């Protein structure tokens, strides 16, 4: 069989397995095993499976993953989301859109300490959605902004998705983290700008203004943000100044989140155990997917498919911009059927050689990947943020999906902006790590 036939066979096998409900990790390993059967030289698939999984799992870099997940699990069980809402709300009463901006700002702040889109969306929605509905805000724009802003959990560092990409692409986690800050602020600005324009165009759908609070009361409410801001500052400064590696920063983040939970009086034996078990479940799922993906990537490398595909794309003489357009469309389609981490590990072995040949920096491409993963989080029918908000609001899936549609297109705009102006992504990593 030639490489095209092998590629089609493996793609068909993967599609059948996934459609049949087989776990993603097992489906990937099965495809890798079948792919190894087409490799000459009598290379034993079992030995490759064992060495690949061990080599990719026994990584000091990957140790940051469960720590960041644990930090988010601990903070998920504190009063952090309620305190962020109370601290931000008084300052937004005179801005077009008013408390709707709390969704964006609170998700941005919580996302910077959770690293998970689902945790960010669920935590902020739990406190913000009832408050907004109670105060008379339009539920459709409230749900849409929560679905979109919840994705900031994987764009503003630290981010579980960024760790997974950095391991898959073999690039510096710290550089990918640093690259995410400015695009994160860009997406927040796009979201808030849309909310402000929507509020100005639909004044009849906005509730009456609330009475102003005295400055001293605003400052008193904002004091609730101090613990969260201190934790963010600790993690960020440690990364930027080189005081600690990404893994060590994750450990500091766990200690800081435990301190916040203890200070708030919610650190009990039960909450601690629940956070540990939640971390174990999520970590095992991601690690198993990574193990399957690494084996499939190794199998594909043995067959020569990625190199052949990269050479084929190179022979088409596609411009870099056209390549990004094609990849964006591909990932939008994948996002309707796969979760974000699966998208990264399923495609990295094939896509990364193509991207490198086109001249894109892999750190920049990591942020591109995170943005398209964000699109997947708000893409029906399997967008996880849509599931979260559907459950919390009681609305049907079509209502939530339509509400999130404008924010999906804003992410497409963000991809276009960072493609035309890549310095938005690369400025901070190049400033900290020149050359």
| Nearest partner of 368 among 316, 303, 324, judged by Cα | 324
Rounded mean pLDDT, 306-316:
68
| Confidence tier at 147 by pLDDT (50, 70, 90) | confident
Given this model, what pLDDT does residue 310 score?
A: 62
Tell me the C-alpha distance between 238 and 247, whole Å. 11
Note the pLDDT of residue 384. 66
Do residues 181 and 157 make contact, with C-beta atoms less than 8 angstroms apart? Answer: yes
CB count, 10 Å around CB of 423? Answer: 11
As a whole number, mean pLDDT of residues 372-398 equals: 74
User: Residue 219: which residues within 8 A CB-CB, separation 6 or more?
Assistant: none
- Res 326: pLDDT: 84
* pLDDT band per the 50, 70, 90 thresholds, residue 380: low
pLDDT at 210 over 70: no
- Do you know the residue count of the chain? 435
Please, are residues 418 and 371 in contact by the beta-carbon 8 Å criterion?
Answer: yes
Q: How confident is the model at residue 123 (pLDDT cuts 50, 70, 90)?
A: low
Name the residue range of residue 283's domain: 3-432
pLDDT tier at 213, thresholds 50, 70, 90: confident
- Residue 148's pLDDT is 87
What percentage of the chain carries pLDDT values higher than 70? 87
Q: What is the pLDDT of residue 134?
A: 78
What pLDDT, in 10s, does the model give residues 330-350? Answer: 888 777 656 677 778 777 877
* pLDDT over 70 at 156, yes or no: yes
Instruction: Give every CB contact of residue 45 below 8 A, 6+ residues apart in sequence.
Output: 32, 33, 36, 37, 299
Q: 1 pLDDT band (50/70/90 cuts)? A: low
pTM here is 0.74
Lowest-pLDDT range of 85-94, 129-138, 305-314, 402-411: 305-314
**The pLDDT of residue 99 is above 90:** no
- Identify each DSSP E strand in 201-353 by its residue range: none
Q: How confident is the model at residue 192 (pLDDT cuts 50, 70, 90)?
A: very high
Q: Please tell me the predicted confidence (pLDDT) of residue 94.
A: 75
What's the pLDDT band for 303 if we cut at 50, 70, 90?
confident
Q: Tell me the average pLDDT across 40-44.
A: 71
Q: What is the pLDDT of residue 32?
A: 83
Judged against a pLDDT cut of 80, whether residue 194 lies above it is answered with yes
Three-state DSSP class for 206?
coil
| Cα distance from N-terminal residue to C-terminal residue, the chain | 45
Per residue in 254-284, pLDDT (tens digit) is 888 888 888 878 888 888 898 888 888 877 8
pLDDT > 90: percent of the chain: 11
Residue 367 pLDDT level (bands cut at 50, 70, 90): very high
Q: Taking residues 123-148, what's their average pLDDT? A: 81
Q: Given this model, what pLDDT does residue 410 score?
A: 93
Higher pLDDT, 245 or 204: 204
Number of folded domains that form the chain: 1
User: What is the mean predicted confidence (pLDDT) over 15-21?
Assistant: 80
For residue 417, pLDDT over 70 is answered with yes
Q: Number of helices (H) and strands (E), helices first, in the chain?
A: 21, 0
Q: Which of 130-134, 245-249, 294-298, 418-422 has the highest mean pLDDT?
A: 418-422
Which alpha helices (H) appear in 304-432, and where do they start and end? Answer: 305-315, 320-335, 340-357, 362-377, 384-393, 397-420, 423-432
């Amino acid at each position: 069989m030639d490489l095209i036939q092998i590629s089609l066979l493996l793609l068909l096998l993967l599609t059948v397995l996934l459609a049949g409900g087989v776990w993603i990790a097992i489906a990937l390993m099965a495809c890798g095993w079948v792919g190894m059967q087409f490799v000459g030289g009598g290379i034993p698939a079992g030995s490759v499976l064992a060495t690949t999984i061990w080599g990719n799992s026994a990584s000091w870099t990957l140790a940051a993953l469960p720590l960041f997940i644990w930090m988010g699990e601990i903070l998920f069980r504190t009063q952090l989301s309620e305190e962020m809402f109370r601290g931000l709300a008084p300052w937004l009463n005179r801005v077009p859109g008013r408390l709707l901006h709390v969704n964006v700002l609170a998700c941005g702040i919580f996302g910077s300490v959770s690293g998970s889109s689902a945790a960010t969306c669920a935590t902020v929605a739990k406190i913000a959605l009832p408050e907004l509905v109670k105060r008379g805000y339009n539920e459709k724009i409230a749900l849409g902004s929560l679905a979109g802003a919840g994705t900031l959990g994987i764009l503003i560092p630290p981010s579980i998705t960024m760790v997974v990409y950095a391991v898959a692409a073999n690039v510096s986690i710290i550089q990918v983290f640093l690259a995410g800050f400015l695009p994160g602020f860009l997406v927040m600005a796009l979201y808030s700008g849309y909310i402000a324009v929507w509020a100005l165009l639909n004044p009849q759908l906005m509730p009456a203004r609330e009475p102003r609070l005295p400055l001293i009361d605003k400052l008193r409410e904002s004091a609730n943000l101090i613990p969260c801001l201190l934790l963010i500052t600790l993690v960020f400064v440690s990364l930027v100044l080189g005081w600690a590696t990404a893994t060590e920063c994750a450990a500091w983040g766990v200690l800081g989140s435990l301190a916040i939970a203890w200070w708030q009086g919610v650190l009990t034996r039960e909450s601690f155990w629940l956070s540990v078990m939640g971390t174990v479940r999520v970590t095992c799922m991601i690690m198993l997917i990574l193990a399957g993906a690494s084996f499939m990537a190794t199998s594909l490398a043995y067959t020569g498919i990625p190199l052949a595909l990269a050479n084929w794309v190179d022979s088409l003489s596609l411009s870099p911009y056209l390549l990004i357009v094609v990849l964006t469309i591909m990932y939008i389609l994948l996002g309707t059927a796969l979760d974000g981490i699966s998208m990264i590990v399923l495609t990295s072995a094939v896509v990364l050689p193509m991207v490198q040949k086109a001249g894109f920096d892999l750190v920049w491409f990591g942020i591109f990947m995170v943005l398209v993963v964000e699109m997947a989080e708000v893409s029906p029918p399997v967008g996880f943020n849509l599931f979260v908000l559907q459950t919390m609001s009681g609305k049907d899936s079509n209502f939530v999906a339509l509400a999130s549609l404008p924010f999906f297109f804003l992410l497409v705009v963000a991809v276009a902006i960072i493609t035309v102006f890549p310095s938005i992504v690369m400025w901070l990593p190049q400033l900290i790590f020149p050359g």
